[in-house]
Structures are given as structure tokens and as C-alpha cells.
Amino acid sequence: MNKIREKIKSLGLQPIHKMGKYQKKYFAIVECPTCRKKRELPFEKIIYKKVFTGLCLPCERRTKMGKNHPRWKGGERYCQNGYIYKRVYEDDIYYPMADKDGRMKRARYVMANYLGRCLDRKEHVHHKNKNRTDDRISNLELVDYREHLRQHYAERKIDKNGRFLPANI
């Protein structure tokens, strides 16, 4: 227990003693360096942590967001509709094209980057080979809304009554 007390004192923390229901527990009063909230932590949580920052849980979560998170994978998300969505931040020139969560289709980002300007909402990016994850500039084509619909309806099959068959048949 003396080693534990020495470690706590070396960190500059104030040790306190509390009696638990079945055993004695030793706590230290820790102040968060960012929000200055004080809280009691058991010695074990302080000593056995690899790096003790002293941050409270909300402050620690804020520091591990986005690019600082250990499992950051580049800000791209694969969605069920087949498209890849890219995270765009406020300092990016293509941020006005993003949705309310700061995401946009990667194909639109690649096309806007190639043209050097933001795309209008009426401008659609068409994948020539119909592979929604293939965002090479040679595979992308910039078309307006009506032309995009024409291209896709021309590919669909019509039954004997003149109705469109489902796209997967």
C-alpha cells in the first residue's frame, strides 16, 4: 500500500480513505484539467491505467473525436444503398455540398475536386459502369437531373403491358 500512496503523491493527488461495505478502499481527489470538475477516483483506476490524463469522461470523449480517435478510418462510410459517403469538415471548400451531418457522396467529392468548384444540387454524378464504389474520374460523368433519369429508365426493361419491371430482374 505504501507504493500506491507514493505513486499517488508523485502525481500530486490528495489521498482520502473510505470504508466500503466489505473492505477499505482508498480514493484520490482528481481535478479535470479542462473543465476543472473535481471527482473521487479509486487508486486502482489511477495506477493501472497506462496513461493517466486526469480528464473526466466527457472531456476525454471530446478529445477522441474524428481524426484523433484511435479507430479512425479516413472518414468514409459504406452505406446500404451502395454509395461511399465521405466526411467533410467546415474548413473544406466543398463543405456547402455536404448534408447536415457533414457527409457527402464520395463520387460528388471526386467530381467537384476535378472541376475545382462545388456542384449544384441539380447536377448529378453518373457511374458509367454502374459500380457505385468505383469513383475513378474516368468512370464518372456529370449530368443534370433529367438526363440522369433518362439514362437509368432507358436501361430498365418493360413488360408486355408497358410497365417497368423491377430493377433487379
Q: Please list the pLDDT of the chain residue by residue as tens digits (169 residues).
A: 667 667 767 766 666 666 556 666 677 778 888 888 888 777 777 767 666 777 888 888 888 877 777 777 778 888 888 899 999 988 899 999 999 989 999 999 999 999 999 999 999 999 998 898 999 999 999 999 888 888 877 777 777 777 767 665 4
Question: What is the reported pLDDT for 22?
Answer: 63
98 plus 45 within the same structural domain: no
Torsion of the alpha carbons at 93, 94, 97 and 100, rounded to the nearest 10: -80
pLDDT at 62: 81
DSSP-based three-state secondary structure for 116: coil
Could you give the C-alpha distances from 49 to 3, 44, 46, 117, 118, in angstroms and in order? 16, 8, 6, 48, 47
Q: Give the residue from 34, 63, 92 where a domain finishes.
A: 63
Residues sharing a CB contact under 8 Å with residue 34, sequence separation 6 or more, in sequence order: 55, 59
7 is a domain residue: yes
Are 57 and 98 found together in one domain?
Answer: no
Which residues make beta-bridge pairs with 121?
none
φ and ψ at residue 158, rounded to 5 degrees: -115, 140
The count of domains in the chain is 2
Which of 20, 36, 63 corresponds to the end of one domain? 63
In angstroms, the CA 92 to CA 96 distance is 9
160 in Cβ contact with 166 (< 8 Å): no
CA distance 5 to 16: 10
Whether residue 136 sits in one domain with residue 80: yes
Predicted pLDDT at 169:
44
Is residue 125 helix, strand or coil? strand
Q: Does residue 162 fall inside a structural domain?
A: no
Which runs of E-coded beta strand occur in 69-150?
76-78, 84-87, 103-105, 123-127, 140-144
> Is residue 31 included in any domain, yes or no?
yes
Q: In which domain, by residue range, is 51 found?
A: 2-63
